[in-house]
Chains A and B, each alone.
Chain A
């Protein structure tokens, strides 16, 4: 939070420069700054409105009935039609999609973190022939277009009899989350001190025990960052389930909603669909507002390679 240009001058918290700026030019800059500040504030406010407005509009629409959705899209709802929400939850199968998503993402996230940290630990802290090769094999996966592999992948999964299954989806999610997870955690394990692990090993702990009882707890901050990154990526995944999971009963939230939108063309329950959309948006938005710092740190750690 930088609220440093609050209009209360005397007890300024951090004074980085004292009288270095000549008084005359300071006054000139202030006036020059205020004109520009109006402009920059204006632009910033406009973008903030553009970000928030579609979301507010969606929430508002989810409480309206069908006729007013089409008749006057910007009008406030005449009353709060909570039935949209209950209809979406039960009749439009949002509850099923939610459950499927929770199962798939829960399983994938645990699997990704366990397998990813195991591989990363070995790659970061042990010398063995092929270490670099395996590392680059994993990391190379970050820049490959998934779509290229998706066609044969469909048949691999099909041959294993795991098409349209929750566990099949979980395994594929884990596999495609490994490149970034291994990359990130390898860097992280390299920064952890060796002395603790060596001490545990001298005391008679096995490699496996050292890993699970000493190293993994020490790696918690890294696991949280990469966990948030993977959680959002897997929760929001659309392409993989679209190809590998076409059974209507097994659909996850994103594809379930798209499916609903397509079939709404015939059924016409738009208000229910909006309720479903908002239902799918709210949990992540709420989680983001609560865990804002961790989410931002987790996601930006992903891009700052």
Chain B
């Protein structure tokens, strides 16, 4: 298979690689370069300013607020989402108990139905989900507060997205709503591949459901949980948190920057304030956070696995 091999390789790689280099790699390299300039993005002129943008960033309160919120998104959100998903998946796949004559390990009744329904939000655009919940959270006429009124909780009428101390949690809840189902299905697939003999052995030893979960299911599923955590964390640091915060919160970024996240701050500095160079500096910080996050989760995960 040598004849014309290199011509063929070049021909097949040229278009994809060219497109990828032009629209992905080149902008990445440029952005790191721009972070050392005073480029506004509005005019083509700029000059090198060394690490000025970086020192400015370290003294920028809004940057630190955004960073805190982004870290909260990357750590807390996967914890809640994956935790709930593991619980649901375990109930669906293993939670049903032994009946006479049936298999030892069964899911609860209607498990197929749950898996289909839970997955619904995953196929919807996060932008559409964010819009829908922005209406639901409306303090006067939204579905949530009028539901609270309906069950007699007239006194409890939070401002939700308008309340600086609540807004961030409201936005996070939407991401939990939209991603849990995906992980339920993902973990279900993982649980299905765990050999039934292991469960039978646990059952014969008199293990309850909690023990079975922590001693059999979770250790064997750990790889999936770990890659799910990285996947969710990267989403929560990037595109998903951008859409929910930008669409749902006032400002956008919330009252008194109470919901701003790094990715939104990059967007605002670049396209609203005309500070392209400073925006790319924050972008570099976001890149560092993302890579550090992935590295830490991978490392912690590896240590955890050795115990079993």
Q: A residues within 8 Å of B by Cβ?
A: 1-6, 9-10, 12, 14-17, 20-21, 25-26, 29-30, 32-34, 36-37, 40-41, 43-44, 47-48, 50-52, 54-55, 57-58, 61, 69-74, 115-116, 118-119, 121-122, 126, 128, 134, 137-138, 141, 143-157, 171-172, 174-176, 178-179, 182, 198, 201, 206-208, 211, 232, 235-239, 242-243, 253-255, 257-258, 261, 274, 277, 280-281, 284-285, 287-289, 292, 295-296, 299-300, 303-305
Contacts and interface: CB of A to CB of B under 8 A. Distances in A.
A299 B16 CA distance: 23
B234 interface: yes
What secondary structure prevails in chain A residues at the interface with B? helix
Contact of A55 (B92, B120, B237): B120
Contacts of B24: 141, 149, 175-176, 178-179
B203 interface: yes
B280 interface: yes
A152 B31 contact: yes
Contacts of B127: 236, 238, 254-255, 257-258
Given A118-B16, A119-B17, A126-B5, A40 B91 contact: yes
Interface string B75-90: 0000000001001100
A288 to B, nearest CB: 5
A151 B276 contact: yes
Contact of B123 (A57, A146, A201, A232): A232
A128 B143 contact: no
A25 B110 CA distance: 26
Counting contact residues on chain B (CB < 8 A from A), the size range is 35 or more
B132 A299 contact: no
Contact of A143 (B22, B111, B290): B290
B123 A284 contact: yes
Nearest to A240: B239
Contacts of A277: 128, 131-132
A112 to B, nearest CB: 9
A244 B23 CA distance: 12
Contacts of B116: 289, 292
A52 B4 contact: no
B123 A74 contact: no
Given A69-B141, A143-B291, A303-B228, A238 B126 contact: yes
A204 to B, nearest CB: 10
B109 to A, nearest CB: 5
B182 interface: yes
A296 B118 CA distance: 11
Closest 7 CB pairs of A and B: A33-B97, A236-B125, A148-B283, A175-B23, A1-B112, A149-B27, A254-B127
A48 B20 CA distance: 41
A2 B114 CA distance: 11
A235 B99 CA distance: 45
A69 B100 CA distance: 52
